[in-house]
A = this chain, B = another copy of it.
Amino acid sequence: MKNIKPIDTLSLVDKVEIRLLEFFKNNNLKPGDPIPKELEFTESLGVSRTVIREALLRLRTLGLVESKKHRGMVLTEPDIINNFSRILDPSLLGTGILKNLFELRLILEMGMADFLFERKTQKDLDELEEIVVNEEEQDSDKSHFSLDKEIAFHGKLYQISNNKTLQGFQQLLLPVFEYVHLKNEPQDFKHRYSSGRFVTHRMLMENIKVGTPETFRNAMRHHLEPHFDSIFKEEQRNSSISEV
């Protein structure tokens, strides 16, 4: 049973999708360019309109094409992120991917420093200052942790980095962040103040003003310490269990 190769089990829609992508590339179509009508594809590819529609629907779902109601379809710049916001609901996800996404947020915030410093403007700094002041006024008693303020501050950082895809990502990760946060708040809160090197939003902001990407990364690492700790501590717990 060696010289016999498996037949392709691809569905017609699969094949048509591939053909469509080839067509776009071969004809060097770019975002904004109109594409042929469903019926034209039906003729040239020799399959039913349903199949064409399903293949096109996939590409639409992924944001590669857009249908101008009743007038035709055009290629579009795929918005990689926003399509997923529809389905990325923590209540629909398994714990594995939630963990991955939460980690991804930490990675992004640790990694964005250079862009932050390169692209910050005076206006950005003023707005950031306002956010911090607002936050300090509201919970001057420091007795509770406000998720809104947390999001306002960190969201502003993403905005300063001025990368649309990155910002879209933050929007995507927001519900995950909320979800994980709600589950862990008590411990988080305790940790924040038991840590010897707690870094506040104000300290981060000052760092952006007068520091360097390098100093900022270290500050951010301490700011995020509770999250890193909770991830790593749990892993150590699990591994020590499995060793027994």
Contacts and interface: CB of A to CB of B under 8 A. Distances in A.
A77 B96 contact: yes
A97 B218 contact: no
A146 interface: no
A59 B87 contact: yes
A142 to B, nearest CB: 27
A118 interface: yes
A115 B111 contact: no
Interface size class of A (residues with CB under 8 A): 35 or more
A196 to B, nearest CB: 17
Contact of A62 (B25, B84, B91, B112): B84
A30 B119 CA distance: 42
A163 B235 CA distance: 13
Q: Which 7 A-B pairs give the minimum distances between C-beta atoms?
A: A111-B111, A107-B111, A110-B111, A100-B165, A61-B61, A64-B87, A58-B61
